[in-house]
Chain A
C-alpha cells in the first residue's frame, strides 16, 4: 500500500502547520517547553483521531468513491496545493484542498455526491463565523466568572497558564478528531482501510509533523497570538477548539487556522478594536475560493493523464 505515502505526507504537513494553532501561544511565550507542548499535542491529536475521527472519514467516503490510486492522487495534489498556498502566504486549509481534489475525482469518474458537498461547503463558511460567535460568548461568560473570582496577579497567571494548556490540549484533540479525515479519509472504503485503521495511521502521521517540524511555525503563529492578552489568547484557542470539535462531531473537516481568525475577530468585536486587518480577511476569502479550485484543476488534470496512461 505504497499509495498511503501521499496521505502520510499530507498528515505530516498538517501536523507541522496546525499544531501552532493550539500550542503556539504557550510555546512562543516560553511558558511551556517545545517538547512538553509537542508531546501533549501528539497525545491529544492521537486520542482525537482515534476516538472522534471516524465521522469525518465517513463524510469523505460518501462524497466520492475512490480507488487506491485516486486516493494517492488526492493526497498528493492536496499536499502540493497546501505547499503552493503556503508559498503564496495565504491561510491555507488542508480540508479545502482535499475536498477540491475529491470533487475532481468524483466528477471525472461521475461518482460525485452533491448533497454531501453542500454540507461541507456550508461548514467552511460556518467555521470562522462559528468561532467568532463562540469567542464572543466565551469572552463575556468566562470574563464575568474571572471578575467575580477577583484573582490576584499570581492566581490570575496560574489560572491563565493552566487554561492555555487545557485549551491547547482540547484544541489538539479537536484537531485530531476533525482533520484526520483529510489525511487518510480518501483511503477509506473499497477494501483499502477501515475507518479505525485510517484514524490510527492519520493520527500518527499528524504527530510526526508535530514533533519534527512544528517548532518554527509555533513560534511564528504563537507570537502573533501572544500580542493578545492572556485571557483573549485563551478564549481564541478555546473558541477554535469548540468550533472545530463541533464540526468533528458533524463529520466535516474544517480549517483550524480560519477558526483562529474567527476567534480573534470575535475578541475584537467584544473589545471594540480591530484585531484582524482587512488584508487578512481578504486573504481568507481568496483562499476559500482558490484552494479548492487549484486542487480541483490539478487533480482533474492528473486523472485525465492517469487514465490516458492506463494507470487509473
Chain B
C-alpha cells in the first residue's frame, strides 16, 4: 500500500517538473522571438532555438513517463483521465513555441518594420495568456475553488489576441508585400495566436475538472 502511495508522490513530482520545463520553453520562446525581431536569425537566436527544442523534448519525455506511471496503479481512473487530458492540451503550448521558433529558423520569415511592434505585442499577449493559465493550473492543485475566477482573465487575453491577430492579418493582406510573404506572415501570426487559443482550451478543462470535484 505504501508503495502505491509513493507512486502518487512520484507522479506529483513529475507533473511539477513538467510544468517547470514547459515554463522554460515559453520563456525561451519569448526571448527567441524578441531576438529574431531585433536581429533576425542570428547566432544568439539559434542558441535560444536549440534550448526551446531541448525543453520541448524534455517536456515530451516527462509526459510519457507521467502517462506510464498513471496507467500503472496511480490515482483513480477519473483523476488519471483529468490529468492526462489536461497535460495533453497543455502540451500544445510548448509544442507551438517550438514550431514557431523552428519556422523562424528554417523559413526565415520576413517580418517587415511595419509589423515588428504588432508581432511583438501579439507574442506578449499570448505569453501572458500562457502565464495566466499556468497560474490557474497551480490553483487547481492548491485551491480549486478559485479556478472559476482564475480562468476569466485567460478568456480576456484570448479575445485580445484574436483582435490583434485579425487586425494584423488584414494589414498584411492590404500591404504591397508579395503573395508568398503575405502567406508566410499570416501563418506565423496564426501560430502565435494558437498559443492563447490553447490556453483558453486548457482553462476550460481546468474549470470542468474543478466543477467535477464539487459534490
Contacts and interface: CB of A to CB of B under 8 A. Distances in A.
Contacts of A33: 73
A150 interface: yes
A158 B71 CA distance: 16
B141 A30 contact: no
**Most chain-A Cβ atoms within 10 A of its Cβ — which of B1, B12, B214, B215?**
B215
A30 B72 CA distance: 7
Contacts of A160: 76
B73 A156 contact: no
A153 B8 contact: no
A153 B140 contact: yes
Interface stretch (B45-53, B77-85, B176-184): B77-85
Contacts of B1: 32, 36, 165
Contacts of A158: 5, 8
Contact of B145 (A30, A150, A156): A150
Given A30-B73, A33-B73, A154 B212 contact: no
A31 B71 CA distance: 10
A229 B78 contact: yes
Interface string A31-55: 1110010000000000000000000
Contacts of A142: 215
Interface in B66-93: 71-73, 75-79, 82-83
A136 to B, nearest CB: 13
Given A36-B1, A153-B141, A154-B141, A231 B215 contact: yes
Looking at chain A's contact residues, the main secondary structure is helix
Contact of B73 (A31, A152, A157, A226): A31
B215 A157 contact: no
Interface in B117-145: 140-145
Contact of A150 (B71, B77, B144): B144
B78 A147 contact: no
Given A146-B215, A153-B213, A29 B143 contact: no
B144 A152 contact: yes
B8 A157 contact: yes
B98 to A, nearest CB: 28
A229 B141 contact: no
**Most chain-B Cβ atoms within 10 A of its Cβ — which of A36, A139, A146, A152?**
A152
B103 interface: no
Nearest to B140: A153
A151 interface: yes
Nearest to B209: A153
B142 A152 contact: yes
Interface string A18-34: 00000000000111110
A154 B145 contact: no
Contacts of B76: 29, 31, 157, 160-161, 230
A224 to B, nearest CB: 13
Contacts of B215: 139, 142-144, 146-147, 231
Interface string A141-175: 01110110011111011101100010000000000
A31 B77 CA distance: 8
Interface string A233-258: 00000000000000000000000000
Interface in A105-161: 139, 142-144, 146-147, 150-154, 156-158, 160-161
B88 to A, nearest CB: 16
Contacts of A229: 78, 212
21 contacts: A29-B77, A31-B4, A31-B75, A36-B1, A144-B215, A147-B214, A150-B143, A151-B213, A152-B140, A152-B144, A153-B79, A153-B83, A153-B140, A154-B12, A156-B79, A156-B213, A157-B75, A158-B8, A165-B1, A226-B77, A230-B78
For the complex of A and B, 8 pairs with smallest distance between CB atoms: A143-B215, A157-B79, A230-B76, A29-B77, A30-B73, A150-B145, A146-B215, A157-B75
Interface of B: 1, 4-5, 8, 12, 71-73, 75-79, 82-83, 140-145, 209, 212-215
Given A30-B71, A139-B215, A156-B213, 17 more contacts: A29-B76, A29-B77, A31-B4, A31-B76, A36-B1, A143-B215, A150-B143, A152-B140, A152-B141, A153-B79, A153-B82, A153-B83, A153-B213, A154-B141, A157-B8, A161-B76, A230-B79
